Structure 1
Amino acid sequence: MAELHELSAVALRDELRQGKVSAAEAAAHFLQRIEQKNPLLGAFITVTVDQAMEHARSADSRRSRTPAGELPLLHGMPLAFKDLTDVEGVPTTHGSAALDHKPALSDAPLVALLRKAGAISLGKTQVPEFGLTAYSENRIAPPSRNPHGPSRSSGGSSGGSAAAVAAGLLPFAPGSDGGGSVRIPAAACGLVGLKPGRGLVPAGESLGDPARLVVAGPIARTSADAALMMDALVPGSSPALSTPAARSLPASTRAAPGGVARGEGAYLEALEQDPPRLRIGVTLDSPWSSTFPFSPEQEALDALQAGIGLLEHAGHALGEASMRYDNRYPDAFTTAWTAAVGTARISPHREALLAPLTRTFRRRAQQRSPAKLAESLAFLRQFQHDTVAQFAQWDLMLMPALAQTPRPVGWFTGLHGGERWPAAHWPGDADGDYRKQCEYAPWSSMINVCGLPAITLPVHWTGGTPGLGLPMGIQLVGPAGSEALLLQVANQLGY
């Protein structure tokens, strides 16, 4: 019989709802996994053993007096939240040594939503400071490491969550994505990562977001597990499938006129059918190329070719898509992305505790005029309009998930091996750090600016065999409302 951490999230959900496994048993099992594996991986900053077991026992008590058909969707399911998201009674560190780590007074909307769905939080996962970077390393806890190669990063900013799911410390996890923060770590850790479109689910972040970049989405081992979490994140909704080809699907997989709900489980139910034949545009173009010229590594190109082969074998029509991007994008995005850190409440005498990249971008944000931010936001709105119009020539867009293999821990900052050096000794090349990140993940932030759904799939491994070597993935981008379609394609390809 498979151990609990070997079950898919859907299978574990079924065991819990049927009473074959209690919520307390599931919580205890995963907490034991965390105790065993986390010292090497650094996936968790805080583990809330007592709170988790109390909530699990309460879930079991409710189950004893509730018919199985009336249990919440995620009854007893263990998960964890990024340490950017408030969980009542648990400190939110934001990955920063410059903040007081006081227990949160209430749950963030994302936490409240998943608690209502029956989930049990086991703790808070590792993040970069204020979620700013594509790697999950900070000054308050050991770096988050990649389960497929512990010398490598698990990505960011949902790096701790991705490491936990890939290592079987959690069945799945919610992440938040403002510039790739679900898709980058999912790709680095060999997982399925879905960034929903703008406004579909709450972000769960407590810092400002003037460009409306951030959205919460699932990090999971399979498309079915991701669909299960989507059903909890968008309760009672009917998934929309908005490409022309998708509109030909049976009505059971599309939103009814006016958005009439079909009831619980719509995303998971959508996987019972294959998607229609789609026209998919393939591109390597990136809006970062003008500022940071880059060449994708061969492993990234191999992943793209693997994705092309899988999609063609499934019957889809693929063609080269040439995209044109305004070269003002990097400056405008960086201005919007870093605006919130400029207004974060940090005592002046503690600013020296910030990481060099955070401190640099905070200073620059504070020196910018409100007019500069407004100009950048206006540009990004036009960029969204222009890019969505180009993408609309195809049903989906395809590109590599990452331009490079998962980077070594400490590679971005110069802290080789991820040592926890004293603050005064941290390397200070913030611009070099940022450039490396943009070259590592050059196809992610523009999707947030456009507010579109996107999914990453682990189609290639550097060792040539799944589970051996390091994972490399593809990213599929769809039009507004195509989350279910992206999940269907992922499921069709065997993920």
Structure 2
Amino acid sequence: MSEIHDLTAREQWERLQQRQLSPLEIVDHYLSRIERLDDGLGAFVTVTPDAARERARRLGDAGPRPDPLWGLPFADKDLTMRAGVPAKFGSRLMADFVPDTSDELPQALDAAGGISLGKTNTPEFGMPSYTESLVAPPARTPWNPALGAGGSSGGAAVAVAAGLLPFAPGSDGGGSIRIPAAATGLVGVKPSRGLVPSGSGIGSLGGLPVAGPLARTVGDAAMLLDAMIGDEPFPFTLRAPRWEGGALSNAAIRGEGRYQLAVMTTSPWDDAYDITVSSEASAALDHGIAELDALGHGIEAIALEPWPDYAPHFRVLWQAGAAGIPAEGAALELLEPLTRWLVERGRELPARRLVEALAGLAQFERSVIRQFAPYDAIVTPALAMTPRPLGWYDSADGEKNFAQQVQYTPFTSFVNVSGLPAVTLPVHQTDDGLPMGIQLIGRPGGEATLLAIGAQLERRIGWQRRHPPQW
């Protein structure tokens, strides 16, 4: 008989509905695994067993409900606030902060019937694309703990990959869901800007960060995404359609359709940095293309039109986004060197330069959507390299650090700038067993198409049956 963590989230939910499992049984199972296995992995920064068990008892006593996450565990990324639970934001600056109110996303997941087990690890204020802070152990990919899990949703990815959670919410402002999903062998979904009401991106600088799911299967990712969207009307959709409840899960379950795809290995960083796609990343892309071709999809190659201003404009947004971190005077000394460099550079930026960057990236967004319009999805490598060794990034030299992040993840940030949906899929493994993936980028509001293609690949490749050694 399969253990609970071997079941998909959907299978766990069905057993809950049939009373074959109770919420408390599932919560106890995952809390036990966290206690036994998380030491050294860096998945969690805070575990809340008492609150989780109490909520599980209340849900169990009330009996099964058809709520989309009823009785299922998750954990909040430690960039979101949950009332009464420490919110460290990966920083010494926030070491003693305990909010008395919850952000919208935890509230939405609670309303869907989920049970939070605590907070997952994240780098300082989510700024880097790797999870190695001074306030928590580094997030390590369970496939090889000497390597980092990426970021900034690194802890969430580790928890799901190691079977400490069935799925987890993350946030993605430049690749922060897709990068760790690719580094840990998971499915990661970055939704269209505006799709998830509690993590829309619309109120943030440049509209970059959105909330989305990490899961072992396409169906589980769609299930969590449906719950994050919810059923409440919301005032903005931009180019994202208003999906009815369960629509994305249905698309992932059916996995139907033949689509016109384009393969792309260029990026908007190519003019500014030395971008090299490793042999391992190329092998994953080749494998994914071969499987997509075998499924009958139309495939052709394209190249992104050069856009030399992309790199300097995005750097401005990255630095300006750090300017609002609540550190003044002596408190700046509590920030890590990279974060402090970002804060100082961001506060030095003239308003005119920020306006120029925002206007330039808005033009870039229109250009990308125009170039991608003839295709149902664009296929790229998920990452340009294998997961990076712990300590690989230079923590003191901001310029070098930025270049390293770009070289590892050249295919992610421009999707946030464009507001488009994307999904990373773990289609391949290296000779030594490391997961390597591809990224599918969709049309505005094209999540259902991406999930359908992902489901087709999952059925063909069977990555959901892979598990990291020892976990």
CA distance in 2, matches of 1:191, 1:469: 14
Q: Does 1:50 align with 2:44?
A: no
* 1:490 alignment partner, one of 454, 464, 467: 454
1:161 aligned onto 2:156: yes
Q: Specify whether residues 207 and 397 from structure 1 end up closer, same or farther in structure 2 by C-alpha distance, changes over 3 A only.
A: closer
Partner in structure 1 of residue 464 of structure 2: none
Aligned 8 A contact 1:203 1:214 in 2? no
Alignment root-mean-square deviation, CA: 1.9
In the alignment, the residues of structure 2 paired with residue 335 and residue 61 of structure 1 have an alpha-carbon distance, to the nearest angstrom, of 52
Instruction: Say whether 1:289 aligns with 2:270.
Output: yes
Distance (Å, rounded) in 2 between the aligned partners of 1:473 and 1:120:
30
- State the alpha-carbon separation in 2 of the partners of residues 372 and 208 from structure 1: 20
Alignment match, 1:34: 34
- Larger CA deviation: 3-12 vs 101-110: 101-110
Question: In structure 2, the residue corresponding to 1:2 is in which secondary structure?
Answer: coil
Of 401, 414, 418, the match for 1:450: 418
Q: Does 1:435 align with 2:403?
A: yes
Structure 1 residues 360 and 19: alpha-carbon distance in aligned structure 2, compared to 1, 3 A threshold:
same
State the SS of the aligned residue for 2:189.
strand
Partner of 2:217: 222
Are residues 1:11 and 2:7 paired? no
Query: Is the partner of 2:437 in helix, strand or coil?
Result: strand
Offset, 1:208: 7.0
Q: Distance in 2 between matches of 1:388 and 1:205?
A: 19
Q: Paired residue for 1:149? A: 144
1:238-293 Cα shifts (integer Å, max 9, x gaps): 9xxxxxxxxxxxxxxx97xxx5x65x322222234343221111111111111111
Shift of 1:109: 0.7
- Does the 8 Å contact 1:193/1:456 carry over to 2? yes
2:416 is matched by which residue type in structure 1?
N
The answer to whether the 8 A contact 1:208-1:340 is kept is: no
Taking structure 2 as the reference length, what is the TM-score of the superposition? 0.93
The equivalent position to 2:125 in structure 1, one of 130, 140, 164, is: 130
Q: In 2 relative to 1, CA 358–205 (structure 1 residues): closer, same or farther, beyond 3 Å?
A: farther
**Residue number in structure 1 paired with 2:84:** 89
CA contact (8 A) 2:193 2:201 kept: no
When normalised by structure 1's length, the TM-score is 0.88
Q: 2-side partners of 1:206 and 1:397: how far apart? A: 22
- Name the SS of the counterpart of 2:93 in structure 1: coil
**C-alpha displacement at 1:16, in angstroms?**
1.5
1:126 alignment partner AA: N
1 CA distance for matches of 2:346 and 2:283?
Answer: 39
Q: How far apart are the structure 2 equivalents of 1:340 and 1:97?
A: 19
Partner of 2:367: 386
Match of 1:481 in 2: 445
Shift of 1:347: 3.5
Deviations 1:323-382 (A, max 9, x none): 113111111112112323212211421212211111111100000111211111111100
User: What is the deviation of 1:156?
Assistant: 0.3
Q: Is the 8 A contact 1:176 1:203 kept in 2?
A: no
Structure 2 counterparts to residues 48-127 of structure 1, below 5 A: 48-63=48-63, 68=64, 70-127=65-122
Q: How does 1:90-489 map to 2 (within 5 A)?
A: 90-202=85-197, 204=199, 209-236=204-231, 262=244, 264-413=245-394, 427-463=395-431, 469-489=433-453
In structure 1, C-alpha distance between the alignment counterparts of 2:203 and 2:375, rounded to whole Å? 33
Change (3 A) 1:218 1:167: same
How many equivalent residue pairs? 453
- Identify unmatched segments of 5+ residues in structure 1: 239-253, 414-426
How far is 1:71 from its partner? 3.4
Deviations 1:11-32 (A, max 9, x none): 0111122221111111111011
CA–CA distance in 2 between the matches of 1:287 and 1:480? 19
SS state of the match for residue 40, structure 1?
Answer: coil
The 2-side partners of 1:301 and 1:345 are apart by 42
CA distance in 2, matches of 1:274, 1:321: 25
Give the SS at the match of 1:276. coil
Gaps of 5+ in 2: 234-239, 460-471
Give the secondary-structure state (helix, strand or coil) at the position aligned to 1:493.
helix
How far 1:204 sits from its partner (Å)? 4.8
The residue type paired with residue 282 of structure 1 is: V
